[in-house]
Amino acid sequence: MAKAKPVVAIVGRPNVGKSTIFNRVVGERVSIVEDTPGVTRDRIYSSAEWLNHDFNIIDTGGIDIGDEPFLEQIRQQAEVAIDEADVIIFMTNGREGVTSADEHVAKILYKSNKPVVLAVNKVDNPEMRDQIYDFYSLGFGEPYPISGSHGLGLGDLLDAAAEHFDKRETEDYGDEVIKFSLIGRPNVGKSSLVNALLGEDRVIVSNVAGTTRDAVDTPYKYDGQEYVIIDTAGMRKKGKVYESTEKYSVLRALRAIERSDVVLVLIDGEEGIIDQDKKIAGYAHDAGRAVIIVVNKWDAVEKDEKTMDKFEKSIRAHFQFLDYAPVVFVSALTKKRIHTLLPVINMASENHSMRVQSSILNEVVMDAVAMNPTPTDHGRRLKIFYATQVAVKPPTFVIFVNEPELMHFSYERFLENRIREAFGFEGTPIRLIARARK
């Protein structure tokens, strides 16, 4: 089943090296390191891998809190970590020793029940290792000496973090329950649509906490099918200061996406598509969730018989990577066409967990090859031996070949299209993995 990856958040006062470590762990320079403390980073969230662990990592230092005083900013960043993460890496600077700002962070982290791993950064050479003992005073046990510049000590640090991954409580919803979330920028109508779906004027109050985290889910049943609406940014914590920053609301959306089978990407029909919509939709696609594009506020749009077609065309142009996603037009306000939504959710969810028969799959693939010969490179031709479905949510296919490098993007795309034509898979991404036959 679609299961959320563990989330690791890095916290600490400015300039201790959080974004340097984030980049190291992520393995590419996704954020900008500068000498100025508190510079805005491009990216503060990424998936990462350590040994056999897949996880997501947040650089809380990149959450821009605005003009708040220094200690207040640190506090808010620490709270984001406490809210969002399964494990917190508390980062300090071995060259400067324990500071009062470190103690401030420590106090906030004590109060959370989250596991904390203490890292002492900028321990660039072994002689400096003696300086880490002071950090025991912060009360988080053994400090892990690391060097972001030299890439030292990261293995031990991540081992310590990963030890907490398996201790997470697992989700308690059965596989037959469809979990979905509504994502989209503020004011697009997420809360209104939830209420419209639930047929009430307010979000249901009998919530159950789904996980160890603070997420509040709304389970309900309709026409014999059980659903859970996963809480998203802007739905419940409205008004709180940390809802006000775009990056933070993206984070909350990401967590909801991770926990969902189906993601409804809401677009404001009145205002049209903006870049932020694309960013959010991109995450749903990357996470391998089923995606439905929902155009809300359709009541407020002046229309003739061509308007819907035109809008859909513009969506297709903006969201080319989501060519599999159905588009639904609704009004949460007037409840018009709301009833069209659940059948589409059911369909997308079904396709997201669809398994196909190997024999038919191979017939489709071999027919495709016969129709469009495999690519060659320097006289070597791609040979496809066998295809098999290895996973659902999303449907994932391994294609055994002679040399995986010969599988070009365009040919992969061609195979994907043939598979889609044969089996459907509307609403869900599918994944093709070329692997050398042993």
User: Which residues does the annotation place in the binding site?
Assistant: 12-19, 59-63, 121-124, 184-191, 231-235, 296-299
Task: Report the alpha-carbon distance of residue 17 to residue 7 in Å, rounded.
Answer: 19
Strand order in the sheet with 45-50: 45-50, 53-59, 7-11, 87-93, 116-121, 144-145
Whether residue 59 contacts residue 40, with contact meaning beta carbons closer than 8 Å, is answered with no
Q: Does 429 bind ligand GDP (CB under 6 A)?
A: no
Q: Does 77 bind ligand GDP (CB under 6 A)?
A: no
CB of 236 to ligand GDP, least distance (A): 10
Site for ligand GDP in 115-134 (CB under 6 A): 121-122, 124
Whether residue 168 contacts residue 6, with contact meaning beta carbons closer than 8 Å, is answered with yes
Q: Does 61 bind ligand GDP (CB under 6 A)?
A: yes
The 10 Å Cβ neighbour count of residue 92 is 28
CB of 282 to ligand GDP, least distance (A): 19
Angle, in degrees to the nearest 10, between helices 246-259 and 70-84: 10
Strands 144-145 and 116-121, by their bridges, are: parallel
Residues 6+ apart with CB under 8 A from 53: 6, 158, 162, 165
Annotated binding site for GTP: 12-19, 59-63, 121-124, 184-191, 231-235, 296-299
Q: Does 114 bind ligand GDP (CB under 6 A)?
A: no
Among 5, 30, 33, 337, binds ligand GDP (CB under 6 A): 33
Q: Where are the beta strands (DSSP E) in 68-126?
A: 87-93, 116-121
Among 9, 16, 162, 348, binds ligand GDP (CB under 6 A): 16
CB of 169 to ligand GDP, least distance (A): 28
Task: Report the alpha-carbon distance of residue 193 to residue 292 in Å, rounded.
Answer: 14
Among 73, 76, 92, 296, binds ligand GDP (CB under 6 A): 296
Task: Report the alpha-carbon distance of residue 180 to residue 41 in Å, rounded.
Answer: 30
Of residues 40, 152, 41, 160, the one with CA closest to residue 90? 160
CB of 240 to ligand GDP, least distance (A): 13
Site for ligand GDP in 196-235 (CB under 6 A): 234-235
Among 11, 19, 85, 258, binds ligand GDP (CB under 6 A): 19
Site for ligand GDP in 180-199 (CB under 6 A): 184, 186-192
Strands 380-381 and 178-183, by their bridges, are: unpaired
DSSP character for 147?
Answer: B
How many residues sit close enough to ligand GDP to count as binding (CB under 6 A)?
35
Site for ligand GDP in 326-365 (CB under 6 A): 331-333
Find where tokens 């007037």 sit.
334
Task: Report the alpha-carbon distance of residue 392 to residue 385 in Å, rounded.
Answer: 22
Q: Does 35 bind ligand GDP (CB under 6 A)?
A: yes
Phi (first) and psi of residue 216, to 5 degrees: -115, 120
Q: Does 297 bind ligand GDP (CB under 6 A)?
A: yes
Nearer to ligand GDP, 34 or 175 (CB): 34
Among 1, 274, 300, 390, binds ligand GDP (CB under 6 A): 300
Q: Does 14 bind ligand GDP (CB under 6 A)?
A: yes
> Which residues are near ligand GDP by CB under 6 A?
12, 14-20, 33, 35, 37, 61, 121-122, 124, 147-149, 184, 186-192, 234-235, 296-297, 299-300, 331-333
